[in-house]
Amino acid sequence: MLGLACAACLGRRGGLRAYSALTSNLAPFTNPSEKERNSAVTLVRGEGVHVWDDQGNKYLDGLAGLWSNALGNGNERVIGAAHAQLKKLAYQHTFWNRTTDIAEEYTRRLVDFASHRGVVQTFMSCGGSDANDTNVKLAWYYWNAVGQPSRKTVIARHGAYHGVTITASSMSGLDSIHKGYGPLPLPWVRHVSTPHYWRNGLPGETEEEYSSRLAKELEDLILREGPETIAAFIAEPVMGAGGVIPPPKGYFQKIQPILQKYDILFILDEVITAFGRLGERFGSDFFDIQPDLYTVAKAMSSSYYPLGAALITERVADAIKDQANKFGVFGHGYTYGGHPVACAIGLECLNIYEETSIWDHVKLMTPTFQLTLKQLETHPLVGEVRGEGFMLAIEFVSDKATKAPLGTSVPPATILANECMKNGLLVRSTGNVVVLAPSLVFTMENFQELFSKLKASFDSFDQIVYKELPDLPRE
């Protein structure tokens, strides 16, 4: 027995050695086999909107990390705030009616900042997924509190991305995050169509008509399921990871009355859009949306620290208070929710955003970004360039009329993203779609650099793609 155990042990150690070389970290949204073959690009330093890898290569970050590093790297005020807080009080929690001065100050400021949206309370998390989880729990808690415990179903949208916890990945409408996980998505989630007019609008259908069709789809689903079973509807103002899909004209204006008619809570996932990315404080300001619960993260701390929150409006807050009172406690909380250092960073970011009106800068620069890149639609293999504010996508097609995807052996957006990287520009590929979402502090000079690097990358993209598929259209 002893001998056998030792052999198994040795075997495991052998395995461990093999894994430790390049794949000691099971990396998110990465093929582990690819990481074994090609060592990961390793970034070691950042200054403003540029980062450097361990080989000394410099990149312009066209995606602000993960749509999140709003101020770029090296902001001395944010670093100073973090340092001061680490020295003063590195950690205490906010459980059991104990709290910290910084958590109280920051959450009060956050509520003030969002008060024009009807927000009266925050619940602090460490990022977007757990804040979305929280919002679903709050919706269930709410319906139980007001005597409608049958309301459990959440309606989300195909193509949505809400994160990767079990709840968030269930609500996300992307196959890639469900595949291989057996019970995902969980049975209390339903998905309605991706609101993408260019791809899914019918011949002759206007954008408004398309929005009406989607609203009807939502209403039909609610009636099929029974309104008394629906807890909430969740949506991003502009779909992000699903390929930057702004809503068609009138979409939220047609969806909201239906939610109101059947008294369904609306969770607005503003993880990407809050704090200025669309040129307004919130995506809900931009599209005039009135949800009951908001999810925020990312730019909240400019990603200098993990931070997120559920923002709660009065209707929900009141019910939570009553319900928790029945149990004597509100039974929910994360060790790192309201972390002092995260709050100090979040507070300083908010100070900077407000002092500089960062959303006005985004609004000012948006035409430069959007209209310049819109011209790429003249490229024979680009079907659509779309976006709002500092979010933009370029979708490749092999045929502009049929919108058929471009079937290169390596996905076309990955070819372009690889060429961008060689030219010192970081962008994101989602297969057929290239995504850009620069830091909110991007200047005209930064945009000029982005445009010229993108142009050089398109030149080599053309060479690679036409070499592989010479019959593709050339004009």
Ligand X SMILES: Cc1ncc(COP(=O)(O)O)c(C=O)c1O
161 or 396: CB nearest ligand X: 161
Helices (H), 178-335: 197-200, 207-225, 251-261, 283-287, 314-327
Residue ranges with strand state E in 149-210: 153-157, 189-192
Q: 261 near 308, Cβ under 8 Å?
A: no
346 or 383: CB nearest ligand X: 346
Torsion angle of C-alpha atoms 162, 167, 173, 177, degrees rounded to 10 = 90
Beta strands 119-125 and 308-313, pairing class? antiparallel
Instruction: Starting at the earlier edge strand, list the strands of the sheet with 230-235.
Output: 119-125, 308-313, 293-296, 265-269, 230-235, 153-157, 189-192
Contacts of 428 (CB under 8 A, 6+ apart): 63, 417, 434, 435, 436, 437
Question: Closest distance between ligand X and the C-beta of residue 138, in Å?
Answer: 16
Q: 265 near 231, Cβ under 8 Å?
A: yes
Question: Closest distance between ligand X and the C-beta of residue 274, in Å?
Answer: 10
Question: Closest distance between ligand X and the C-beta of residue 10, in Å?
Answer: 38
Other beta carbons less than 10 A from residue 208's beta carbon: 15
Instruction: State the amino acid at position 125 in one-letter form.
Output: S
Residue ranges with strand state E in 319-450: 382-388, 391-396, 425-426, 428-429, 433-436
100 or 301: CB nearest ligand X: 301
Question: Closest distance between ligand X and the C-beta of residue 8, in Å?
Answer: 37
Distance CA 324, CA 244 (A): 38
Cis omega (within 30 of 0) for bond into 473 = no
- With CA atoms as reference, report the closest residue to 196 among 258, 251, 267: 251
342 or 465: CB nearest ligand X: 342
Q: 101 near 85, Cβ under 8 Å?
A: no
283 or 383: CB nearest ligand X: 283
245 or 406: CB nearest ligand X: 245
Question: Closest distance between ligand X and the C-beta of residue 159, in Å?
Answer: 11
Question: Closest distance between ligand X and the C-beta of residue 174, in Å?
Answer: 11
29 or 327: CB nearest ligand X: 29
Other beta carbons less than 10 A from residue 459's beta carbon: 11
Of all helices (H) and strands (E), which one includes residue 85?
Answer: helix 76-88
| Tokens at 317, concatenated | 């807050």
Interhelix angle 358-374/340-356, nearest 10 degrees: 70
271 or 417: CB nearest ligand X: 271
Question: Closest distance between ligand X and the C-beta of residue 255, in Å?
Answer: 17
Question: Closest distance between ligand X and the C-beta of residue 287, in Å?
Answer: 15
Instruction: State the amino acid at position 293 in one-letter form.
Output: L
309 or 381: CB nearest ligand X: 309
3-state secondary structure of 371: helix
Interface residues with ligand X (CB under 6 A) are: 66, 127-129, 132, 161-163, 236, 240-241, 269, 271-272, 297, 308
165 or 457: CB nearest ligand X: 165
Query: What's the first-to-final CA gap in the chain, in angstroms?
Result: 72
Residue showing the smallest CB distance to ligand X in the complex: 128
132 or 439: CB nearest ligand X: 132
Helices (H), 245-291: 251-261, 283-287
Question: Closest distance between ligand X and the C-beta of residue 298, in Å?
Answer: 7
Strand partners, 47: 50
Question: Closest distance between ligand X and the C-beta of residue 68, in Å?
Answer: 8
Question: Closest distance between ligand X and the C-beta of residue 355, in Å?
Answer: 26
126 or 352: CB nearest ligand X: 126
| Tokens at 27, concatenated | 């990396």
Question: Closest distance between ligand X and the C-beta of residue 107, in Å?
Answer: 18
